[in-house]
Chains A and B, each alone.
Chain A
Amino acid sequence: MTKSVTLTIDGQAITVPEGTLVVDAARMAGIDIPVFCYHPKMEPVGMCRMCLVEIGRPLIDRNTGQAILDEKGDPKLQFMPKLETACTNPVSEGMVVLTSSEKARAGQKSTIEFLLTSHPLDCPICDKGGECPLQNLTMAYGPGKGRFLYDEKMHLAKNVPLGPLIYLDQERCIQCARCVRFQDEIVGDAVLGFGERGRAMQIISLSEPPFDSVFSGNTTDICPVGALTTADFRFGARPWELSASASICAQCSVGCNITFNTRRAARAGGRVVIKRVMPRQNEEVNEIWICDKGRFAYHYTESRKRLTRPLMRKDGKLGRASWEAATRLAAEAFAQAKKNFVVLASGRLSNEDLFNLKALADHLGGRAVLYSDMGGGDLTALVGVGPGTDFGQMGRGTAIVVVASDLYEEAPIWYLRLKQAAERGATLIVANPRPTRLERFASFVVRYAYGDEVKTIQSLTKKGKIGDALQARNLVVLFGSEGLGLEGSTALATACARLLHESGHVGRPNNGLIGVWPRVNDQGAWELGFRPAENLAALLRGKAVYVVAADPAGDDPRLAKALQAARFVAVQDLFATETAKLANVVFPAQAYTEREGTFVSGERRVQRFYAAVPPLGESRPDFAIASQVGKQMGIILEGTSAPVVFEILSADHPSFAGLTYAALAEVRPQWPIVDRRDLYYGGTTYENTQGMGKHLSNAAQRGEALHLPRFPRRAARRPTARGLLAVPVTKLYDRGVTVSSAELLKPKISETFVALPPSAAERLGIEDGARVKLRLNGVSRAVRVKVDEAVASGVVLVPRSMGLSIRRPVVARVRMAESAARS
């Protein structure tokens, strides 16, 4: 237990934990001490001098150790002759802080006056205007008029791209270093710094490519002035015109809490559109941060290419149809197919959608197939993490294993959370065939060959110090699918589940298995009974297939063939995908921004998202479409209210038992206290008023018998004498349908390339940057090569969702393209 300290701030006695900074103690007591450079997530630096206060400390008699009392019997106080910074001084017993004395106010006023001497005061055209700490604190603490001559203001560049996503206005910058320190301390990539000195000091990017970070957008939230703006939002809207809707980021399985800021826009023909994505505080999930993919990739929801009407195939061509006709056509085909009915749906869908779709399959005796190449979700349902789990609480006494995943690319916020857990003393063990960024913060790094995942996990306990580390009180294992297909990842998950089970790390908070899923709600799909199929192509042939939120034909030519050989294909999606092009009927689905629902994160937290914008065209929510299709065959499924669907599903699934929309909307007090009404402290992040979500229970916690499956017995694929082993890896910015509509991210999405080790490159006579023919699964493609020392010999890394069809490790052939063209 930390000791408590009682102090007085502006006459108010408060008790806070020892070590609390005066500025934070005041915040807890609801007293404002203005700050610019201080941020509760970062170490204090005392640069801006805004938080100047008077601090008195009781005089202590050196002989007795007791406070010296005055004639009235009160402790005598000693005030320093100078004002002190509230952000760098920790509280002490009996301390008296005056935040609003004449002297303190004069100090605060002088800092504002100094800050404004060269500030351009261009608030009317500044994106920050209306949510600007400098503006607000100037109103509250400033002198009201400046004595600095306007003509002597220093003029500097106003449109400096720090990177493709973030612009710097050098005139507005007040040199608080929040952005520099964010990158340095929070992210661990010191890609920003200062150039020049004195009044000429400016923020600069130190990296190549510039501002090389996937967290860059956060700097605009904590920038206390309009110096940093995103290329996406700048000059886009005034903050006070924006509406705010709580949501969940759908780009990966972390489930970051976000807020969509929306506004009616002339440019969008008067429609209400999303103007920007902001983080929403959930200290148990994403704190107050989001990654750049989450912040900037949302544009797909408003793409002009969205489907807006149902389509039916007539005379070999897809044409407009009514909902009634389209759903009837699909229903007839499905009803006829009975057990030959297959729902093929992805984890992009909400629980409500998946539940209705599964119900449809169950009614007909068909199959509900999860469109995924990663297995193990049945195991996370058994021994996954559950209620009470929070990365933010992990530190000393916790061991965390990350295997077969590059979290910086696959789940950036987990990368941040694990980095911080390691800094708090958690033992971080990173096992991967090639180096990943997270390794810098790991206590142990384990390198293994692709194919040896299971063996690696099985031998961890026997590895001396690592084995000891695994005996920690708490153990969490995150497994991914780097270099793995469905079969390999299932085997890996099994090994991880067994490790946890055998060492007694299941069924307790902060213990258990976590899947680093590629999609936002893969975990939910598993919980609701969807399972991936190993031989999907064979499964689809001859069936009546209902493809929802997936594009198998676009991803894999063999699946395209299988679907061509299907009896009937209905597609329900946002876009006219390759699969939709060969469908009999196509249903336009609503984007998740247009409706409400719930997702289950990789940490098995169920979280609500709310409608942010009106639906496009005739599109409908996925669960409603499923209900309508059902209704056409006499199957009654709730089709209008997502909360009601959720009620039904939670009654049906033990892990959801007791959860309701109301419970998911509950919020708990959080630290730091962020508030849109006083942005100076936490930044422009949104406070959480609409729900922090609830964990699903797991079988281990419910005391159910745990039957962990046996290992599938198949030898791993290895490189051959003539072929390289092509393994799939995941990149943050890919060509997936939820990313590719964001023009802004295009420069970040590299050209499709495969990575070769120097040994293979040399043997094949290939240089870095060369174009090669890659023959993969019977298909030849010209791609560019990156020669990368981090790649093991005999291996070629093939990025997922970049136009190359790779769903599992396969032997591939690489040779120089005829032209040998190089750019």
Chain B
Amino acid sequence: MGQHVLLRHRDIPDIHRLDVYRRHGGFEALEQAVTRMKPHEVTEVVKASGLRGRGGAAFPTGLKWSFVDNKNWPHYVVANADESEPGTFKDREIMEGNPFQFLEGMAIAAYAVGANLAYIYLRGEFWQIAHFLDQKIAEMEAAGFLGHRLFGRDFSLQIHTHLGAGAYICGEETAMLESLEGKRGQPRIRPPFPAVKGLYGKPTVVNNVETLTNLPPILQNGADWYRSLGTADSAGVKIFSLSGRVRKPGNYELPFGTTFRQLIYEHGGGILEGRPPRAILPAGASSSLIRVDDKALDTPMDYASVRTLGSDLGSASVIVVDDTVSIEWVIRKTIHFFKHESCGKCTPCREGTYWMFNIIERMEHGRGTAEDVNLLLHVARQMQGKCLCPLGEFSTMAVVTGIERFSQDFQVGEKA
């Protein structure tokens, strides 16, 4: 793909400079929206484009906006830049390389839902990016693309950055809102969803950085253009964060429907040392493990197709595992991660991740028994469907699919 839609800095040097961004059509979409479209018309275009949330849940973006309660004001837009899923590193590249397109997307979203205040919630480790974005926001304000009465119209917008304090859970939208309000980052019960009751109890749209970055080109080129990219189920382009045992890990912006084989071999340069791939985690640590065979490798990467493999595309953080890696090791890593990140609010996740960690550690140190594999599977299943938020659910995905699909990797008692 010659021309990037999102990672345009790879094609256009210095697009992080306001003048360069403007020379390449920057802020035309925002101006078009604010001066020539009604807010609901913007929402309609986004609906028609088929754009779905890029944070992992793939909820239709325009539909989400249309849930915003217009009887309750003010409204807020929050950009989810908490990018914490192990294996996901796409938002970072967007914000560092092509910041104005992301910020313009935020402004478009804010216009569509009538928000005059928008926040970018960044993971704490992104503090340099927050400084960088603060500069970019200041430049936009100076140039009249943010602030009071944009383009002379009755629409004003301020954007603020906000740093998290190092919790994976704050990528979950309601925990993010709690954290943004200055509270402990723990998820809220949904419903009500943020579009109805979000930040400070007010209707709030929470969109992922990548989702928002799609908006300027969609407005400029139209919904049909966007739909022409990707597949019927999954419109447009996606940044695939490729990592694991591949030669060329990195972000690859590709249309939905690109196969795993194309991603791994054409773009990623194949597996290290030419070894065979065994498993794919298509959505970072939260993945259900895909057992690799030809059918899997030739499966197009779109939301519906990946589901046929008993997994989910999620945020498209494709981690490739080859035959040098034991799946038991993989799930030990994921369990350790989720045990560390469980916020502690709900019982099954708090206790379940701790319990699973104890079992897998036991197995790792050769103290496991045959029953322990079953117990681990049972504990994970016992957590499923009972947790307050998706984190607890995610923590069981690799465990259950790992044990079920790679049972030979769980040999008990061999390690001394």
A residues whose Cβ falls under 8 Å from a Cβ of B: 44-50, 52, 81-83, 85, 88, 107, 110-111, 113-115, 117-118, 147-149, 152, 154, 174-175, 193-194, 196-201
Contact = CB atoms under 8 A, between A and B. Distances in A.
B210 interface: no
Given A47-B346, A47-B347, A117 B386 contact: no
B274 to A, nearest CB: 40
A85 B388 CA distance: 9
Interface of B: 167, 169, 184, 189, 339-348, 350-355, 358, 375, 382, 385-388
B386 A107 contact: yes
B345 A47 contact: yes
A193 B387 CA distance: 22
Contacts of B345: 45, 47, 175
B189 A194 contact: no
Contact of B352 (A114, A193, A197, A200): A114
B346 A200 contact: no
B358 A198 contact: no
14 contacts: A45-B345, A49-B346, A81-B385, A85-B189, A111-B348, A114-B350, A114-B382, A117-B351, A174-B347, A196-B344, A198-B339, A198-B341, A198-B344, A201-B350
B56 to A, nearest CB: 19
A49 B347 contact: yes
A536 B294 CA distance: 102
Contact of B385 (A47, A83, A152, A196): A83
Contacts of A117: 351, 354-355
A118 B354 contact: yes
A417 to B, nearest CB: 25
B385 A199 contact: no
Quick one: which of B169, B343, B355, B375 has the most chain A CB within 10 A? B355
Given A47-B346, A194-B344, A197-B342, A118 B351 contact: yes
A478 B99 CA distance: 59
The 10 closest A-B pairs by CB, nearest first: A201-B344, A114-B351, A199-B354, A198-B342, A82-B385, A46-B189, A152-B358, A110-B382, A198-B344, A197-B344
A247 to B, nearest CB: 38
A175 B382 CA distance: 20
A19 B382 CA distance: 31
Contacts of A107: 386
A198 B189 contact: no
A44 B388 CA distance: 13
B335 to A, nearest CB: 12
Contacts of B341: 197-198
Contacts of A174: 347
Nearest to B357: A199
Contacts of A148: 355, 358
A88 B189 contact: yes
B188 to A, nearest CB: 8
A198 B354 contact: yes
Contacts of B382: 110, 113-114
B363 to A, nearest CB: 13
A746 B167 CA distance: 42
A148 B357 CA distance: 12
Contact of B353 (A46, A193, A198, A201): A198
A149 B375 CA distance: 11
Contacts of B388: 46-47, 49
Nearest to B353: A198
Nearest to A36: B347
Given A49-B347, A114-B348, A199-B344, A83 B355 contact: no
Contacts of B348: 49, 110-111, 114
Given A147-B375, A198-B344, A49 B355 contact: no
Nearest to A149: B358
B386 A198 contact: no
Most chain B CB inside 10 Å of its own CB: which residue of A83, A149, A199: A199
Contact of B387 (A45, A49, A113, A175): A49
Contacts of A49: 346-348, 386-388
Contacts of B350: 114, 175, 198-199, 201
A107 to B, nearest CB: 6
Interface centre among A49, A107, A196 (most CB of B within 10 A): A49
Nearest to A88: B189
B389 to A, nearest CB: 10
Contacts of A110: 348, 382, 386
Nearest to A180: B184
Contacts of B346: 46-49
Contacts of B339: 198-199
A477 to B, nearest CB: 33
A149 to B, nearest CB: 7
A82 B385 CA distance: 5
Contacts of A48: 346-347
A758 to B, nearest CB: 31
A665 B339 CA distance: 54
A83 B386 contact: yes
B344 A175 contact: yes
B184 A154 contact: no
B169 to A, nearest CB: 8
A198 B385 contact: no
A325 B355 CA distance: 75
A115 B382 CA distance: 13
Contact of A115 (B342, B351, B385, B387): B351
Contacts of B184: 193-194
A198 B340 contact: yes
Contacts of B340: 198
Nearest to B352: A114
B139 to A, nearest CB: 37
Contacts of A114: 347-348, 350-352, 355, 382
A767 B388 CA distance: 53
A55 to B, nearest CB: 13
